[in-house]
Amino acid sequence: MSAVERLVLGSVALGLPYGIAAPAEKRRTAPEEEVRAIVEDAVAAGVAAFDTAPSYGLAESRLGRLLSRQNGAVWTKLSNLPTDDSLVQAAEQSLARSLAHLNRPRIDCLQWHNWRAELAESPEFRALWSGLRDDPRIGSLGASTYGVGDALAAVRSGLFEQIQIEWNLFNQGVLDAVAGEAAQRGVRLAVRSVFLQGVLTARGATLPPALAGLAEPRRGAERLAAEWGLALNGLALRAALDHPARPLVLIGPDRLWQLREMLQHAGLAPLPAQVFDELRRLDLAGDPLTDPRTWRF
């Protein structure tokens, strides 16, 4: 599978304002014509999967209008569902809405959004998941997780064919912790947040005050990227694509030029193996600033 074929177009930035904004720029939702161009260019380049969720604003409906059933696998999620005895009904309603929004009879991968290890012990969750496994409207089952503990529990649970985890230059630990067991168990891994919501792109040159603690690590990453002849965002993407675990890699452009730049970086020669020893020095190992859920600005 080529590097471009391992890219997954994440759609959160196509459905609502997302990530940090560049200086003097307002966070905004991409206009429909820009989203159309992004989807069309991604398909033409060979991007084969598209990730979305009901909580991503306009994203499901936009993909439903713009992405034909012949072009690309679609992943969506179950999110914000009760975990009591109404779970099965709520999940059915969520799935039916997603199928209608996406204008498809089938979801290629249905994921539980922000899965936690304790859910594996819930009779309601297990009953739901057992039923979904045999649902002809679903190709495979997956989960998105945060942190090593929940990611490892998901890999070991036997409940999921695919697990989506966080990974970027400043937060490398989860992939390192789960990659070996995932490979042994035949679980696909997909990494998200490779640009840390814009911190590891040109937008991060001026960070909000709340993220000032990332300024010096970001400068270190820029210096390393320059040593290898890359822009910072190029190193961020190539490092994810060239990681020895060979995960699927989510990208989330909200401008057409961003997608084209990402595709250009995906077409570059792989990073040499020795660069990964240097990349480990960038890992901030548990710093809360690497988790966007902690950001307040």
Tell me the pLDDT tens digit for each residue of 115-167.
Answer: 999 999 999 999 999 999 999 999 999 999 999 999 999 999 999 999 999 99
Q: Report the pLDDT value the prediction gives residue 77, as an integer from 0 to 100.
A: 98
Nearest to 79 by CA among 142, 3, 166, 148: 142
**Positive or negative: CA dihedral 237, 293, 297, 173:** negative
Tell me the pLDDT tens digit for each residue of 160-202.
Answer: 999 999 999 999 999 999 999 999 999 999 999 999 999 999 9
For residues 102 and 68, what is the distance between their CA atoms, to the nearest angstrom? 10
For residues 289 and 221, what is the distance between their CA atoms, to the nearest angstrom? 16
Quickly state the pLDDT bin for 23 (edges 50, 70, 90).
low
Tell me the pLDDT tens digit for each residue of 207-248.
Answer: 999 999 999 999 999 999 999 999 999 999 999 999 999 999
Q: Which residues contact 292 (CB under 8 A, 6 or more apart)?
A: 193, 196, 197
The whole-chain average pLDDT of the chain stands at: 94
Q: Report the pLDDT value the prediction gives residue 108, as an integer from 0 to 100.
A: 97
First to last CA, the chain: 39
Q: Are residues 98 and 54 in contact, defined by beta-carbon separation less than 8 angstroms? A: yes
Across the range 4-18, mean pLDDT stands at 94
Per-residue pLDDT for 112 more than 80?
yes
Give Cα separations from 99 to 12, 67, 104, 246 (angstroms): 17, 13, 5, 30
HSE of 49 in the Cβ direction (CA atoms, 13 Å)? 19
Nearest to 228 by CA among 266, 280, 171, 275: 275
For residues 27 and 5, what is the distance between their CA atoms, to the nearest angstrom? 29
Quickly state the pLDDT bin for 22 (edges 50, 70, 90).
low
Per-residue pLDDT for 7 more than 90?
yes
Per-residue pLDDT for 30 more than 90?
no
Each domain of the chain, given as residue ranges in start order, spans: 4-212+247-294
Per-residue pLDDT for 297 more than 80?
no
Phi and psi at residue 144, in whole multiples of 5°?
Answer: -110, 140
What is the second-level CATH architecture of the domain 4-212+247-294?
Answer: Alpha-Beta Barrel (3.20)
Phi and psi at residue 75, in whole multiples of 5°?
Answer: -110, 135
